[in-house]
């Protein structure tokens, strides 16, 4: 239940931030394994792509919660390389709605 609610909040957040690149079709969260997986239809692609954050870490600072992305895999090798180069070990503030569910 908790993972589903977190996934819904993150899907909306990610979908809004990356809507110019395509549409997030599905997002799942495994809280025990600290893993996120999403499926998206990217502009110009004929098939959906799958992207996984293989490991993430949550950090609290004051009243804010941040996510640090540790590793990636995807259904496209070039996308895995790009995501790793751009986002690995970077920290992002997560939406308050999702942060409340994680406390």
pLDDT attached to residue 12: 86
**Whole-model pTM?**
0.80
Does the pLDDT of residue 58 top 90, yes or no?
no
- Return the pLDDT at 1: 62
Domain parsing of the chain, residue ranges: 2-102
Question: Which residues, 6 or more positions from 56, have their beta carbon under 8 angstroms from its beta carbon?
Answer: 34, 35, 36, 67, 68, 69, 70
Higher per-residue pLDDT: 96 or 74: 74
């Amino acid at each position: 239940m908790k993972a589903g609610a977190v996934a819904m909040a993150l899907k909306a957040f990610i979908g809004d931030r990356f809507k110019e690149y395509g549409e997030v079709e599905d997002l799942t969260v495994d809280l025990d394994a600290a893993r996120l997986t999403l499926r998206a239809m990217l502009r110009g692609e004929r098939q959906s792509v799958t992207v996984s954050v293989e490991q993430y870490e949550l950090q609290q600072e004051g009243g804010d919660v941040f996510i640090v992305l540790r590793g990636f895999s995807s259904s496209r090798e070039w996308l895995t390389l790009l995501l790793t180069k751009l986002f690995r070990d970077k920290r992002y503030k997560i939406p308050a709605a999702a942060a409340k569910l994680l406390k």
